[in-house]
Amino acid sequence: MKHHTSKYRMPLIALTTTGLAMTLAIGVPAAAASGEDQPFRGNLTGVTTAAPCGQGQLCLTGRVTGEATHFGNTVMTKQVLVTFTGPCAGGSGGAATFIEMAQLTAANGDRVNLSGSGTSCHTANGTTASGTLSPTGGTGRFSDATGTITEDIDAVPSGPATETETVVLGGSLS
């Protein structure tokens, strides 16, 4: 059998490659291109350190890592001011409100700055907390980020002034 080389082989490959690129470009969701909110989820773990910083207050500094939508491998650093308000529901432990400033850093180094607030219950066995965070700025693809992120935290004591946290993030970003 005789093999023929064709002057049409290269244009066919170029046409196929161009078609694939066009298919990929068209396949990008319209919502992403238009800046509409996209679902956001994250699961992070790490350590938070506490120090008294005022009457009935704790200042927390934390670093948690994991995976998050649109971020890949993610690092979240945070500073939290906790103000105790009385007993937790059911009378066990101390209820509190908190104000949080945080930063999520994506695998490529792009960041989104967040601020928010929430409530928590602190017992000898650990802490449960929930709150809401909103973007306040960022870098790279997150420079104009908007949206709302919910934060659910379960923490257990891991030292005299530290807790190991599991943080679940949800909500939307654009």
Least confident segment among 31-45, 55-69, 101-115, 155-169: 31-45
CB 78 within 8 A of CB 165: no
Whether pLDDT at 12 is above 90: no
| Percent of the chain residues topping a pLDDT of 90 | 72
Q: At 167, list the tokens.
A: 């943080």
Give the Cβ contact number of residue 6 at 10 Å.
Answer: 8
**Coil, strand, or helix at residue 3?**
coil
* pTM, two decimal places: 0.78
Task: Give buried/exposed letters for 95-128 (b at 16+ CB in 10 A, else e).
Answer: ebebebebbbbbeeebbbbbebebebbbeeebbb
The pLDDT value given to residue 36: 75
- Least Cα distance to 48 among 76, 85, 74, 69 occurs for 76
Phi, psi (degrees; rounded to nearest 5) at 13: -65, -45
Domains and CATH numbers, the chain: 36-173 (2.40.160)
